[in-house]
A and B are shown apart, each in its own frame.
Chain A
Amino acid sequence: DAKTTQPNSMESNEEEPVHLPCNHSTISGTDYIHWYRQLPSQGPEYVIHGLTSNVNNRMASLAIAEDRKSSTLILHRATLRDAAVYYCILRDVNPGGYQKVTFGIGTKLQVIP
């Protein structure tokens, strides 16, 4: 499996944007970039995913480098409820197949009031 590298922790002030980086230099052409987050004592929840183009949804934006070797999850205005561990994961999605979601250490985001 292609691996990802994330900082162990980051801090952000409330209501400021947060940029969470992820490096995935060994990404393959069929790997989708997924982001999940896990709030304390809860199961992970899906945040966003993309392949090549930048993506936006109601939770966040995903900026993908042109060479796809890195990506950045952007929270436009951090709130205290965004304090969580954020996981950047690569999934190779082939038609008719699947790949289990394997978690790394992730980035623990602390939001300061």
Chain B
Amino acid sequence: GAVVSQHPSRVICKSGTSVKIECRSLDFQATTMFWYRQFPKQSLMLMATSNEGSKATYEQGVEKDKFLINHASLTLSTLTVTSAHPEDSSFYICSARDWGGRSYNEQFFGPGTRLTVL
């Protein structure tokens, strides 16, 4: 199956700093990538959908100025958590859609990034 990687896998930062998380599709082109957030013992919550070369679409309640998403190429999307605070500590997971020219397209998930804000 298709592989999606995330970097870093873990990050600890001080309150007020910005953190960038990278999501890469390693063996396929991803026209669309998704960013999820998961708090302990909760399900994944979709934050935003990004299409290559255009602005991301954010879910209701997600601050676009706080969670900056850039999808500059068909294999890379980045999520920047700006001015991070302890309440932003969470497990961030990206997903990439393998278009592949097929009518049915699968969504593959990265391994996640654990963000801890002190």
A98-B97, A101-B34, A101-B95 are contacts. A46–B103 as well, Cβ < 8 Å?
no
CB closest residue in chain A, given B44:
A103
A43-B112, A44-B93, A93-B104 are contacts. A100–B1 as well, Cβ < 8 Å?
no
In Å, the complex CA distance between A87 and B106 comes to 15
In Å, the complex CA distance between A5 and B95 comes to 23
Q: Are B105 and A41 in contact (CB under 8 A)?
A: no
**Chain B interface: which size bin?**
20 to 34
Number of chain A residues whose Cβ lies closer than 8 Å to a Cβ of chain B: 22
Q: Are B93 and A41 in contact (CB under 8 A)?
A: no
Interface centre among A93, A94, A104 (most CB of B within 10 A): A93
Interface centre among A41, A43, A101, A106 (most CB of B within 10 A): A43
8 A Cβ contacts from B68-114 to A: 91, 93, 95, 97, 103-112, 114
Question: Which residue of the partner chain, among B4, B104, B107, contacts A101 with CB atoms under 8 Å?
Answer: B107
8 A Cβ contacts from B18-47 to A: 32, 34, 36, 43-46
Q: Are A104 and B109 in contact (CB under 8 A)?
A: no
Q: Are B93 and A100 in contact (CB under 8 A)?
A: no
A43-B110, A93-B104, A95-B103 are contacts. A102–B46 as well, Cβ < 8 Å?
yes
Q: Are A100 and B109 in contact (CB under 8 A)?
A: no
CB closest residue in chain B, given A106:
B43
Question: Which residue of the partner chain, among B6, B49, B103, B109, contacts A45 with CB atoms under 8 Å?
Answer: B109
Which B residues lie within 8 Å of A95 (CB)? 103
Binding site for B on A (CB under 8 A): 32, 36, 38, 41-46, 87, 93-96, 98, 100-106
A44-B44, A100-B49, A103-B36 are known contacts; what are 16 more A-B pairs with Cβ within 8 Å? A36-B109, A41-B112, A42-B111, A43-B4, A43-B6, A43-B95, A46-B1, A87-B43, A93-B103, A93-B104, A94-B103, A98-B105, A100-B107, A101-B34, A103-B43, A104-B43
